[in-house]
Amino acid sequence: MRHFLSENDLTADEFRAIIQRGSELRKQWESHSCEVTLPQRVLGMIFEKSSTRTRVSFEAGMTQLGGHAIYLSPDNTQLGRGEPQADTARVLSQMVDAISVRTFSHESLERFSENATVPVINALTDLLHPCQLLADMQTYLDHRGDISGKRVAWIGDGNNMCNSYLNTARLLGFHLCFACPDGYEPDAQILANAGNHASRAATPAEACTGADLIVTDVWASMGQEEEQKARLVAFEGYEINTEMMALANEDALFMHCLPAHRGEEVSAEVIDGSQSVVWEEAGNRLHAQKALLEFLLLHAQ
């Protein structure tokens, strides 16, 4: 039994096999010929933060694979009345085949997984967002092939997405050049672990120069709304616009995990432009996570 709490829970070969399977599942979905590989399997989904893409992709994915998903939030379960997460993990493990958890603290997710006897999936914590990286890497694979040896620019907050890109750079062998304002750097230990697969640029323009993929995220993530005004000042000059994209390689792609704020971290011309693959990237959450569920429930030892 395996959990997926971090990109580091997979080998490079396993990561690549999952995103390749995700591409196969997307083609099946597009031709209305989805394989039923998880009949009667049930996914419990705990959400302590709001969600659109993650909830819909997991629910739709389980339905397409022949199984079912149950949405659980603190407002309508005993979690909201103080039941220890360890007890919830033990109880749900008696009833469902896997559990996805979207929560704040990564340490809390790790404690939950230690008490679960079915696979636990990180559906986002403040530290990491590994399911989004599966979708991003599947999208790059579909458009440009394997990302090994490529240069990726991360522009903006050194948040959970940036941390996940650092982990994935080391795992899949690409270089992540990030540009973040002082005080908004990624996790120091994750950056150290990335070694020579990561470097910090002095400016967003420097990071974008020669990039094969440019990625950004909102400047104030969930739970940081009160910092919005201060962050607008700190991140001035960090917008991905046509001038930034022009510094990248001619066939560079643009990605954003969404939701996006046009006119802040990205201009409308870029996110709605020809180099943007954000809608396909969002759609691949569905297929990459179906491939992940198959891996955890049918293949992982």
Q: Which tokens in the block code for residue 41?
A: 């399997």
Please check if 131 is assigned to a binding site: yes
Annotated catalytic residue within 157, 217, 287, 289: 217
State the Cα angle at 45 between 3 and 34, rounded to 5°.
85
Please check if 257 is assigned to a binding site: yes
Please check if 255 is assigned to a binding site: no
Please check if 2 is assigned to a binding site: no
Please check if 111 is assigned to a binding site: no
Q: Which tokens in the block code for residue 11?
A: 């080998």
The question of whether 217 is a catalytic residue gets the answer yes
Ramachandran area for residue 128 (φ above 0: left; ψ -120 to 50: alpha; else beta): beta
Query: By three-state DSSP, how is residue 178 classified?
Result: strand
- Alpha-carbon distances, residue 101 vs 9, 13, 55, 80, 144 (angstroms): 16, 25, 10, 15, 31
Please check if 102 is assigned to a binding site: yes
Annotated catalytic residue within 26, 197, 285, 287: 285
Please check if 54 is assigned to a binding site: yes
Q: How many CA atoms lie within 13 A of 49 on its CB side?
A: 18
The question of whether 257 is a catalytic residue gets the answer yes
Annotated catalytic residue within 26, 129, 256, 287: 129
Please check if 16 is assigned to a binding site: no
Annotated catalytic residue within 132, 162, 170, 180: 132
Residues belonging to the binding site for carbamoyl phosphate are: 51-54, 78, 102, 129-132, 257-258, 285
Name the binding residues.
51-54, 78, 102, 129-132, 160, 217, 221-222, 257-258, 285
Annotated binding site for L-ornithine: 160, 217, 221-222
Catalytic machinery residues: 102, 129, 132, 217, 257, 285
